[in-house]
Every structure is written in C-alpha cells, then in structure tokens.
Amino acid sequence: MKKLIVLTFFLISFFTLYAQQVLFPREENTCRIMSYNIRNARGLDEITNYQRIANIIEKVSPDVIALQELDSVTQRSNKADVLKQLADITRMHAIYGAAIPFQGGKYGIGILSKKRPLSWKNIPLPGREEVRALLMVEFDKYIVFATHFSLTSEDRITSIKIINELANHSDKPVFLAGDLNAEPDSSEIKTLATNWKILNNTKDATFPANNPVNKIDYIMGYAKGGKTYSVHQAKVVDEPVASDHRPLFVDVRLSTSEDKVMRTQPYLQNPSTDAMTIMWMTNVPCRSWVEYGTDSTNMQRARTFVEGEAMANNTINRIRLEGLKPGTKYYYRAVSQEITLYQPYKKEFGDTVRTTLSSFTTWNDNLKDFTALVFNDLHDNYDLFDKLYAQVKDKKIDVIIFNGDCIADVQSEDVAVKSISHYCEVAGGNNIPTIFIRGNHETRGAYSMFLWNLLEKKGGTHTYGAFNLGDTRFVLLDCGEDKPDDHWVYYDMNDFTHYRQEQADFLRKELASSEFKTANKRILIHHIPLFGKNMDEYNPCKDFWEPILANAKFDVSLNAHTHEFEYIPTGKEQNNYPVMIGGGPSEKSGVVTVLEKKGNSMTLTAINVNGAEVLKLDL
C-alpha cells in the first residue's frame, strides 16, 4: 500500500511538473521577459501567498521577470523580504530597487532572473504621491529596465525623458517592463512609442485581474538604437486571483551581432570537374547563399532549393555549385542572413554577413600534375595535425583526404564541428577541397549517424565510392567497425557485414569500369588494413574484398588504424599491390602522406613531424 501511495505521489508530481513545463512552450534561441504587479503577493481574496505567486512565475518560466509593489521587511509584510521569499522558492537571482522607506523597511520594485546579472543600478523617478524607481539590470546580451510609473501624467512624462536618455547610452538591446499606469492611447505611451516598440498586445487588458479592462502593464523594446529583435509570442496570463494585476510575458529573439552569425568558415566538399559543394555553419537560423563567379567583381548567386522551397531557417549550410567549367578558377563567398522570425505569413531578418573572398579550381580530366595529402588517425590531436601540415603547407595542394579516425568518437555536434573546423581552417579548406573517409571511431558516439550532416560524401550518396583526379583513379572504401557486429559493445545496433558485402558488389563493378581500366594511376584508400601486423585475428573486410582485389591493378593501398607505421611491399603478404599503413595519433608515429603526380610519374612520400621522409616510393 505504501508503495502504491509513493508511486501515485510520484506520478502526480511528474505530470504536474510536465504540465508546468509545457504550459507556455517557447521556440529555441528566444528570451522570455515577464512583468507582474503582485501587490505584495496579496491576492483579490485578501490572502498573502508567496507560494502562489512563485507557482505562477515557475509556470511561465521567464528568463527575467520585473515585479512591482514589493515590501522589504516592513511591518505590513511582517518583516518579510518579499522578493527574497520569491527568489528562494523559484531559485532565481534577485535584485531589489527601493523606491521609498516604508514602515521600518522599504517599498519598491525588483527583478528575478535565471542568470546572474552583470551589473545593476537603482535610479529614482518622480512621483507626487510617492517617489518611484527605475531598476536597470544588465545581462550578457541585453539590459532590462523595470519600473512602476507614477499615477500623475506629468511625472510619467518626466520619467520617460530620463528613461530615454539612459537607453540611448546603452550599448546593448534594452527592454522596459512594468506597470506604467497609462493606457495605450495616452500621451505618455504615444511619447514612449516614438523610441520604444510595444512588444505585448495592447488589446489584452491586465487590470483588474478578475475582470481586466485596463491596459496599463507593458513590455517594450528600445528601437532607436537600431538593435533589432523579433517577438515570437506575447501573452497575458489568465490569473484572476493572485494579485490585482494579471501577469504578462513576451518571447523575443535578439538579432545576433554580425561577428557572431558565422560558426565556421566555408569549407569545400565533393569536388569534381564541373561542380563543388560549399559548406559552412552558422550559430543562428539563417537563410544562406553563395556568391560565385570567375570574375570576383561580377558574381552570381546560388541557393539550395528542396522541392521548390529555399532551404532556410537552419544552421548547417550545403550549397552545390553545378555547371562549372573544368580546370577553371572560381571566386566565391558564403553569405548568411539571420532569420529572427519565421512564421507562415511573416518573416523578419537580422544582419547579412559575408565571408571573405575565397577561391577554388575545378578539376580537369586532362590533369596530369597534382598533389594530394592524406592524414589518418589524428584522433582530434590538433597539435599533431598542425605540426604535420606545417611540413607540407608550401606545396600546391589539390585535395586533402582524411582516412578515418581523425574525428574521435563523435559524441556531439560540437565535437565534430570543432574537429572539422580546425582541420579545414589550418589547411585552408575554404580553398582546398577535403574528403573525409570514416574510420571505426567515426562510427561511434551519439552523433555518429548525423556526421554526414556536416560533410558531403564523395559522389553525394555513399561513404564509399570512386573518382578521378585528372588521369588518376581513387577508390575509397568504408571498413566499418573493428569488432564483429554481434560484439556486446554495439548493443545489437551494427550490421557492417551487409555493408561490406554491398561494397564488394561495388568493387566488382568499379574494377570492370572503363574509368578504372583507362586510368594512368590507381589509388586504393580505406582505414582498416587488409594486410599488416596483427591483422589476422579479425579482418572481415579481407574476406569480402581481397578475392576481388587479388587481381586488381592498384599502384598502392593507403591504410591506417594500427597506429604503427608500416610498409608492405608487393607480394610480402600475398598482397597484389604495395601497402602503406599510416602512423598513429602521436608525434612519435604520426605521418602525413603526400601523393605527387607529374606527367606519368607519381611519388608517395610519408613525412613525420620533423620533416623527415619516413618512406618514399616511385609508383
């Protein structure tokens, strides 16, 4: 019986909490500002109840709430600090602004906030019946002015002049919230509206709470400074008893400063003779496009459309430039404009941000000279990557290939973005296309299934494939994990067996294709080796692929995974082609592989962090 009671209590508490959380749902990247004249927590039933007011605040869950008519240790409140009582219950930070001394304590206004304020100031405002106050509280991205205006029109007009002057000198967006004791058609509100935008719906009355007919509570945004924001939601809460006013709130999305819109620089993906994909990420939802052309002073716009709709209101941008001329240099820049409001019949925008001008050259089927770099097993060791790249940065590089385990255990988008951004920014990925091949570590982590949101597969379809760089054929394979599919660590969520079989079918077709047969050079790249030390214990890729590759005419196979550099000449392990296994994620074993093609000749050079040539082959 006791267990049943406990369970019932738990379920009631859970569903009560859930109901509170979804009572006023909000969109991402919005800020919720609330205003409430609580009459010292004394309701229309003449009961003073702090918990009741706190419950209302928690149901609305504002980021900041401006409160009016607050006692602080007065006789009337039985020496209670009303704001502190509410702060303790709601677990919010409290800033009090005293207006007048009263009954041994103080009487005034206050602000509660989820985040700790950076600074605050309490400024007196005129009031003939009693002095009023303006509480200025600064947060990271905005400032909130909380106030309770005088009952006298002349005092309100004077207060507006003071508030405007303070707002005009603020370097952040400013919001004004409080009981202004004036109707929307009054001269005071009309005066305010010349510099402030009223964010709440002035058709919704707030006073008296049990039968509201007066519209005297407001939330406004200072508009004169040019700092923009969009209103996503504005409501007066249906609360008829807890105070003589009803609470109101607005959800706003602040426009992002120009230097904070872009999350990454653009990086080139999926290169070809007549197309190139430009990718980049933003910190906020945007509409985006690419400006490009062979003449940097005369460029056209390219956007992504999906079934007639422009891809927008997203943060991951992928724009494919098609119909390009082979072997041609193109200039481009990525452009994003923040979307602060995206509704069916209304949209609002922030700043338009352009990246610096970059360039790329499309590939050419007749190309005989090129340089390709291959990295592997970096495991997010950025210092190692930087040192390896420093050894080859002066070369004219046409493509960079990351052969697996360069992004270690993709647990989150942030992890993947950090790695991709670092590699591309250091290596000039805005000018040099990069190709990412999965290793076994890229298949791990909560975000692994979504990694390709941030990258583009070569050919755009599979994690394996083939392409020509000039007269050289590259064949890329995806080995998958390094343990059997039924290993306990995969929790019955892997089936690489069928994926390897699918690639075996692809290999048969590829080796029979004219592109492969007519190529001057042929390079095989995959992460887990088919040959090498300690590769006999579990090597399913060899079982699937080696019977097909046994007679294939590859000039070299580039592999990784073992964290130990190794070169296996043709025939040493019954391999039909030379095999080079790159090193590991340490300065002791790490290498960068350089493929340099000149005419009909190709060399492979493995270089360590000290610039020494660990291996050099004529292919």
For residue 297, CA distances in Å to 275, 334, 337, 532 come to 21, 15, 21, 53
Q: Region 529-539: what's the mean pLDDT?
A: 84
Whether the per-residue pLDDT at 17 is higher than 70: the answer is no
pLDDT of 99 reads 85
Confidence of residue 28 (pLDDT cuts 50, 70, 90): confident
pLDDT > 70: what percent of the chain? Answer: 96
**Residue 600 identity:** N
pLDDT of amino acid 185: 96
Checking if the pLDDT of 217 tops 50, the result is: yes
Residue 42 DSSP symbol: B
Please tell me the least confidently modeled range out of 15-19, 221-225, 540-544: 15-19
| Predicted confidence band of residue 227 (pLDDT cuts 50, 70, 90) | low
Tokens 């964010």 found at: 199
Q: How far is CA 76 from CA 102, 132, 334, 535, in A?
A: 9, 19, 62, 82
Q: Which CATH superfamily is domain 263-361 in?
A: Immunoglobulins (2.60.40.10)
Provide the token pair at 387: 């040192």
Inter-axis angle of helices 50-60 and 82-90, to 10 degrees? 50
| Residue 21 clears pLDDT 70, i.e. is over it | no
Phi, psi of 337 (to 5 degrees): -120, 120
**What distance in Å separates the CA atoms of residue 29 and residue 313, rounded to the nearest whole number?**
12
Share of the chain above pLDDT 90, in %: 85
Taking the CA of residue 366 as centre, how many other CA atoms within 13 Å lie in the half-sphere pointing to its CB?
A: 3
pLDDT tens digits for 142-166?
999 999 999 999 999 999 999 999 9
Cα separation, 23 vs 25, whole angstroms: 6
pLDDT tens digits, one per residue of 425-484: 999 999 999 999 999 999 999 999 999 999 999 888 899 999 999 999 999 999 999 899
- Inform me whether the pLDDT recorded for 51 exceeds 50: yes
Name which of 399, 263, 368 is nearest 598 in CA terms: 368
Would you list the domain boundaries of the chain? 22-254, 263-361, 370-618
CB atoms within 10 A of CB 4: 8
Alpha-carbon gap, residue 142 to 133, rounded angstroms: 20
CB contact burial 117-135 (16+ within 10 A = b; e otherwise): beebebbebbbeeebbbbb
Which residue, 261, 319, 304, is CA-closest to 286?
261
At the fourth CATH level, the homologous superfamily of domain 370-618 is Metallo-dependent phosphatases (3.60.21.10)
User: What single DSSP character describes residue 405?
Assistant: -
pLDDT, mean over the chain: 93
Cβ neighbors of 15 (< 8 A, separation 6 or more) are none
CA dist 619 and 602 (Å) reads 5
- Residues 351 and 288: their CA atoms lie apart, in Å, by 12
Mean pLDDT for the stretch of residues 347-355: 94
Q: Is residue 338 within 8 Å of 285, Cβ to Cβ?
A: yes
Tokens 């005989």 label which residue? Answer: 368
pLDDT at 226 over 80: no
One-letter amino acid of 462: H
More confident residue, 91 or 100: 91
Residue 91: pLDDT band with limits 50, 70, 90 = very high
Q: Which CATH superfamily is domain 22-254 in?
A: Endonuclease/exonuclease/phosphatase (3.60.10.10)
Region 175-196 average pLDDT: 96
What pLDDT, in 10s, does the model give residues 375-388? 999 999 999 999 99
pLDDT in tens, 313-332: 999 999 999 999 999 999 99
**Cβ proximity of 583 and 563 under 8 Å:** yes
Would you say how long the chain is, in residues? 619
In the prediction, which pLDDT does 356 show?
Answer: 96
Q: Residue 581's closest CA among 554, 561, 608? A: 561
Instruction: Take residue 17 and report the two structure tokens written for it.
Output: 């909490």
Predicted pLDDT of residue 531: 93
Q: What is the pLDDT of residue 225?
A: 66
Question: DSSP readout, 424-490?
Answer: HHHTTTTTS-EEEE--SGGG-STTGGGGGGTS--TTSS-SSEEEEETTEEEEE-----SS-TT-GGG
**Two tokens at 161?**
């002049």
In a 13 Å sphere around the CA of 315, the CA atoms on its Cβ side amount to 15
pLDDT band (50, 70, 90) for residue 224: confident
Written as six digits, the tokens of 384 are 């190692």
Cα 4 to the center of its chain, rounded Å = 44
